[in-house]
């Protein structure tokens, strides 16, 4: 508690608070712009924080991640075009509400549900991360190897329409992580005589290329349709259509509580992602409703369910990162680079080695939640205008920021070449429905997986029977087999939900109605 008070003392410094607020504002705008999303915003912004103090830099990046989660609901409600795939369920009821003249009501409920889900999930992170880290200190190389293997299998199975494709993407991520000096002997591998590759491929240029540049290439192919989208949403003059009534709050508060719980659980489990949380929460709310037939026609509970779960996933996904050093999502994988850059190495030891910096992170997250409420409430009308900017103006600006971000990571033009190469990889990953989520997480955990595997071979004396002395490792090996079988032979609902991560929701008409109805029918079964 003392460290948390010191954390608030650091974060509430005016200069630091301004950077956190700026991060939330940028994140809100990035989230509202279709096709960008929190991963893109954070990846591009990391090099811009080189000269900031650790609390200000980390607070700004966390603000971007949180703000973009709430901002993505703006375009989903006003244009039926989710800023991120996880806001697709928001569009199901948010856009019909906007067409009925209740856009302000839907936007306010989306914002309030986002803030509540985000704040409560952050409190859960603060309460759970340190206790889990104490147990994590008992984990050795053998246990760590099996945990990483389980996580990668779990992520690979649930991050796309095909488990085979997910595992291939994860394996490719690990493959690219092996480029550079070998872990133990420091012999260069697959560097092809290029000095720039001796130190391996950097995460930031790779992430910028796969997330931002590849997405801009997809958007450019649909630019005429996107530019033709017009804001023909009318606002009602009736007060009850512009504010949230107390009767609606009574109906939505239990929905928000359920969505926050679902989002937090989904966030803790590595690799599921915000899309799973928002769709599961929306489906659970519809099934629990006495009038499920009204969902999809303008039920405000649908907006509350989707947004509370969507925004609860981000803080909860940091729990496995802080407790075990394992990124639970793309945003967590990208934030690793920022944490390490500013002196915080994610993992169980950070609570002993850098307790005050951890407290700064917690304080920044709580402050970002409050700032998100203020910025979102005051700026809804402004953001509604920003998202109507033509994509032919947005794409060049985003590409310029991407190039600057990649270059600043190393100060070398080679980073831009890396960014462009992985933009090509990301483009085909989207077209062929390979999970770039699994690819990036495989790339991040690849070095630890290789090192722990080599250490395990030595500790086990190259004899698999010695695994009997490591019951935790055996449990995770069994879980890996069970999860592989379960995902490979069932769980149609989970895979159908998560496949939205690979789809483009950027058309002016929003997600394909046929696909949405198919998912709804599948959920109802």
d(CA 205, CA 207) in angstroms, rounded, equals: 6
d(CA 386, CA 45) in angstroms, rounded, equals: 20
Pairing type for strands 188-189 and 180-181 reads antiparallel
CA distances, 355 to each of 7, 214, 365 (Å): 9, 38, 15
267, 313 contact by CB (below 8 A)? yes
Write down the pTM of the prediction: 0.66
Residues 6+ apart with CB under 8 A from 225: 507, 508
For position 116, what pLDDT does the model report?
92
The 3-state DSSP class for residue 189 equals strand
First to last CA, the chain: 48
d(CA 58, CA 356) in angstroms, rounded, equals: 13
Residues 6+ apart with CB under 8 A from 296: 92, 93, 96, 302, 516, 520
| DSSP string for residues in 153-184 | HHHHHHSSS-HHHHHHHHHHHHHHHT-EE-TT
CA distances, 39 to each of 115, 134, 205, 213, 413 (Å): 19, 29, 12, 12, 23
d(CA 480, CA 415) in angstroms, rounded, equals: 36
DSSP tag of 208 = I
Give pLDDT tens digits along the chain (525 positions): 677 787 788 888 888 899 999 999 988 888 777 656 677 778 888 888 888 888 888 889 888 888 887 887 887 787 666 667 677 788 888 878 877 778 788 888 888 998 999 899 889 888 887 787 666 666 778 887 887 788 777 766 655 567 788 888 888 888 998 888 887 777 888 888 788 888 888 877 887 788 778 878 887 877 776 666 544 455 556 766 667 878 888 888 999 999 899 888 877 766 556 766 777 788 788 878 788 777 877 788 888 888 888 888 888 888 878 877 777 677 777 788 788 888 888 877 788 888 888 888 888 889 988 898 888 888 776 765 555 566 677 778 778 877 877 787 677 888 889 989 999 988 888 888 787 767 877 887 788 788 888 888 888 888 888 888 888 888 888 888 887 777 666 544 444 444 444 344 343 344 444 333 443 444 433
d(CA 81, CA 87) in angstroms, rounded, equals: 9
62, 406 contact by CB (below 8 A)? no
273, 435 contact by CB (below 8 A)? no
Query: 150, 44, 33: which is closest to 84 by C-alpha?
Result: 33
Query: How is the chain split among helix, strand and coil, in percent rounded to 5?
Result: 75, 0, 25
- Number of separate helices (H) and strands (E) present in the chain: 26, 2
For position 302, what pLDDT does the model report?
86
Burial (Cβ within 10 Å: 0-12, 13-18, ≥19) of residue 116: buried
Residue with tokens 């005016």: 14
Residues forming a β-bridge with 189: 180
């Amino acid at each position: 508690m003392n460290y948390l008070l010191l954390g608030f003392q650091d974060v509430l410094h005016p200069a630091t608070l301004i950077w956190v607020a700026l991060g939330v504002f940028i994140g809100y705008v990035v989230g509202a712009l279709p096709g960008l999303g929190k991963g893109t915003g954070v990846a591009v912004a990391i090099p811009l924080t080189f000269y900031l103090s650790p609390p200000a830099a980390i607070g700004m990046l966390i603000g971007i991640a949180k703000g973009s989660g709430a901002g993505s609901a703006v375009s989903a409600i006003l244009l039926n075009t989710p800023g991120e795939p996880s806001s697709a369920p928001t569009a199901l009821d948010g856009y019909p509400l906007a067409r009925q003249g209740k856009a302000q009501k839907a936007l306010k409920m989306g914002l309030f549900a986002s803030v509540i889900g985000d704040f409560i999930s952050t409190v859960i992170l603060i309460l759970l991360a340190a206790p889990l880290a104490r147990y994590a200190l008992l984990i050795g190389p053998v246990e760590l190897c099996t945990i990483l293997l389980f996580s990668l299998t779990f992520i690979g199975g649930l991050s796309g329409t095909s488990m085979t494709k997910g595992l291939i993407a994860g394996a490719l991520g690990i493959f690219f992580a092996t480029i550079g000096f070998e872990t133990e002997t420091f012999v260069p591998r697959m560097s092809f005589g290029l000095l720039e590759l001796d130190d391996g491929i950097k995460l930031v240029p790779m992430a910028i290329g796969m997330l931002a540049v590849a997405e801009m290439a997809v958007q450019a192919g649909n630019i005429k349709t996107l530019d033709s989208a017009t804001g023909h949403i009318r606002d009602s003059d009736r007060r009850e259509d512009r504010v949230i009534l107390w009767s609606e709050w009574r109906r939505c508060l239990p929905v928000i509580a359920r969505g926050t719980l679902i989002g937090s659980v989904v966030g803790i489990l590595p690799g599921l992602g915000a899309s799973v949380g928002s769709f599961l929460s929306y489906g659970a709310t519809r099934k629990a409703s006495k009038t499920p037939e009204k969902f999809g026609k303008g039920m405000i509970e649908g907006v509350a369910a989707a947004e509370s779960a969507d925004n609860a996933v981000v803080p909860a996904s940091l729990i496995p990162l802080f407790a075990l050093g394992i990124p639970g999502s793309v945003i967590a994988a990208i934030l690793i680079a920022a944490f390490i850059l500013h002196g915080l190495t994610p993992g169980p030891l950070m609570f002993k080695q850098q307790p005050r910096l951890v407290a700064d992170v917690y304080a920044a997250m709580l402050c970002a939640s409050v700032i998100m409420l203020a910025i979102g409430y005051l700026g809804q009308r402004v953001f509604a205008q920003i998202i109507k900017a033509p994509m032919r103006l947005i794409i060049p600006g985003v590409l310029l920021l991407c190039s600057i971000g990649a270059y600043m990571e190393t100060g070398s033009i080679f980073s831009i070449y890396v960014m462009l190469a992985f933009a090509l990889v990301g483009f085909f990953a989207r077209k062929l429905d390979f999970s770039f989520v699994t690819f990036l997480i495989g790339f991040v955990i690849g070095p630890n997986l290789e090192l722990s595997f080599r250490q395990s071979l030595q500790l086990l004396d190259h004899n698999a029977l010695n695994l009997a002395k490591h019951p935790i490792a055996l449990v995770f090996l069994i879980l890996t087999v069970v999860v592989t079988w379960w995902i490979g032979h069932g769980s149609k609902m989970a895979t159908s939900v998560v496949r939205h991560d690979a789809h483009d929701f950027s058309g002016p008409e929003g997600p394909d109605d046929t696909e949405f109805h198919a998912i709804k029918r599948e959920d109802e079964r």
